[in-house]
Amino acid sequence: MDKRLTEKYRATVESHVKSKKIVEFYLYWVKNLEKTFRGQPLNNLTGDEVQSYLNLMVTQDRYKEWQLEQANDSFRLLFGECLILSWATPWPVRLRDPAAVPCSQPKVFSSLPSQKNFKDTTNFNGVDLRCPGLLGKSRTVLRTLHYAYKTEKTYLEWICRYINFIELQDPETAGAEHVKRYLEYLATTREVAGNTQRQALNAIVFLYAKVLEKPLGDIGPYAKPKKPQRLPVVFTMDEVDRVLEALEGTLGLMAGLLYGSGLRLMECVRLRVKDVDFARQQLLVRGKGDKQRLTVLSDRFQEPLREHLRRVKELHEADLRIGHGEVYMPSALARKYPKANQEWGWQYVFPSANLSVDPRGGKVRRHHADESNLQKAVKRAVQENGSTRQGSCHTFRHSFATHLLEDGYDIRTVQELLGHADVATTMIYTHVLNRPGIAVKSPADRLMNSQPHPSRRDRPTPEANHAQPPHPETTARAGILRSRNKRPRHHAQPAASGGCSGNQPCGDGAVPKGP
């Protein structure tokens, strides 16, 4: 909506409702409707198209009854009292029972936008209208194959973006050429990073291979962003100490485990109580791809971790007394062991402060802590300590590996602690061995005068050089350099004292080496 229509609609809604917050909700529903029917003015929409959109909302589980009624009323005020369309009086759109909603594709979009006006957005509602059941089937396949919840959300977003790019046509009618054009659009127009483009490609390949069961095959060459070769950011020991000192409480303990055990951010927040082994001073880490590994537990953080677990256990016992205390269980363990989700060992080491609803199962549980809290705290601590490095939570993991290599541990040990499948991934941390000041000495440090080279304006004149006697240390160094540059002469006859010549072996059989 343009500014004039928005102000007119706002005034219309304010005349019917009193709360300003509800007015914003009414605007939200209308903007969603406009986004779905993109490229088509609102005053050109028909009652059947609005009814089809409302039917779609009814079939979706994420909308409650009061939200559907509010959305319907917002459309009534827009078309009936603001735009004053003939078909909107009396208001013909009705809420229907979800079971009575037809599954056939409704008639929408009298005109489609051109590629030059394309906006790369998700537009879930538009995809559901033009490709009914596609997103639901994709979600079912993702959960059947046990993909992570974040992967599910990311793949569904990329599938929606791709279908919007091909102008909301059925992806079964599109093919490799459409995928190639979309990948090139991401690289040239959006200028995304290489990893982002590969993520989009993986989601589209999943759509065709697993959901539609029509593999793409070879899509041919396409424009790819150049992948920069960057070295990881590494804190010094002093910087690590200052950042950890700036973090307090639970966040400080979490950051300490990131550095002391080399954990990834999500590995830290997903730690379970039974994964902590104080006797052996180690942690069982459940990493990416459902892979497990063992890593060290620092002595510095053992006592703070014990005290933290005592407080977490009190919180868990309080949840049990009010009928909660359940935690998310991986895979099918919740069905195999129905009471295990309330056991102390399965609880998160860093639980959330509030109970929340599981987005998949709908049950009320205490999930793990939100990782964004630690990310913001670490970023703030790095900035407050005056560091010019762009440090993050993952920088602690880089520092863990680099400092172990500096201490002399072999790279295979570091690889196992980090959980890398290929040692080549761990090899990037060996850049510290080539850092100036560690193993490489600059040739400038071997010059006779260690002071910076004077500029032409400040350079002394030849008369001044002759006027002052040379420094004894400088003369001695110059003599050493001249003696090093002299090559020894090989005599044709052996020395009278019994020494060896340049071409004959010595008495002990050794041949003298050249300079």
**Is there a catalytic annotation at residue 429?**
yes
Return all residues near 294 (Cβ < 8 A) that are at least 6 apart.
282, 283, 284, 285
Catalytic residue among 288, 311, 380, 491: 288
Contact 253, 308 (CB under 8 A): yes
| Residue in 279, 253, 261, 284 with CA at minimum distance from that of residue 346 | 284
Which among 210, 286, 308, 394 is annotated as catalytic? 394
- State how far the Cα of 339 lies from the Cα of 347, in Å rounded to an integer: 12
Conformation bin of residue 58: beta by default, left when phi > 0, alpha when psi is -120 to 50: alpha
Taking the C-alpha atoms of residue 208 and residue 141, their distance in angstroms, rounded to an integer, is 12
C-beta of residue 375 within 8 angstroms of C-beta of residue 392: yes
Catalytic-residue membership of 139: no
Contact of 178 with 201, CB cutoff 8 Å: no
In the annotation, is 420 catalytic? yes
Residue 295 DSSP SS3: strand
Catalytic residue among 178, 270, 397, 398: 397
Answer yes or no: 394 catalytic. Answer: yes
**Does the active-site annotation cover 490?**
no
Token couple for 388? 């010019």
Q: What angle do CA 60, 65, 68 make, to 5 degrees?
A: 70
Token code pair at residue 289: 């791809």
Q: State the Cα–Cα distance between residues 157 and 391, nearest whole angstrom.
A: 29
Active-site residue list: 264, 288, 394, 397, 420, 429
